[in-house]
Structure 1
């Protein structure tokens, strides 16, 4: 194969989830999405239509207008046909082969390339993520987000007698509607 794309490097170095993470980071760096550090919620930012790599388009397609948790986005994109197309290109290029139980494994040439990526990942966070994983990302916020699991949902207390949830019991102020009062 000639020059490998960041998505091919990601698949060879870390598999389908790494491909999804790489596309997500590329969209984040181009201000196409926002990812909340605290909630891990992914939101698509309004922009003019532009040509996107198919894996990036798959990420955008997985995020509804209300946003979605990062883990769910990555899981869905990792299973998407666009990521499978990246794997198929590596198989046809002789860098991956089917191993036991159908799992894709790097060939000797693929392993050699992967070792090369580990020692010289390239410039920029997208290439560093593709080759090294989340620990290779220099942007501290995104490194933390990609390295941690989604937070567990908070269980709201119920009123006795099956009433509505008591939203005031948290003791937290809601400055969104009180104008900071």
Structure 2
């Protein structure tokens, strides 16, 4: 008994953890009991530390999935009516009106090929502003057409605009002022849409 009375054999009762830690511990136990109702009996063989680590990792993965989903939804809800990479000298992204002004500048200078490009961009951006079409730079022109296929009038007019754009921009087909004016008129019909 005298040996056990020595200080090195004395057991000091630790102070109880703060109330917040106690409350968190109780909440954790409630969560684990609730989860235990849905888990098979073999999980009882898993050590508590491993179970907690798995639970923490699971919560982290779930939180990351929720965060990514919310970011994606927010990105889809945000109207992307400005074209990245086409900023003006002040760093303002290209809008439908700015693209139309550039098209007019290029056509006045006789550069109808570039004017057609900006007219087409202004059309896509304007259709997005009207909520008719979600503009996405990653889509091909044919994919854009498929997105409006439900509306025959819009689809037919946009088909003509896309065909001319593709021939001029990608096929380097020469374009004169008369053909450009016809193209601008077709684009104008689209701009009244929506």
Query: What TM-score comes out, normalization by structure 1 length?
Result: 0.25
Q: Which has the higher strand share?
A: 1
Query: What TM-score comes out, normalization by structure 2 length?
Result: 0.24
- Which has the greater radius of gyration? 2
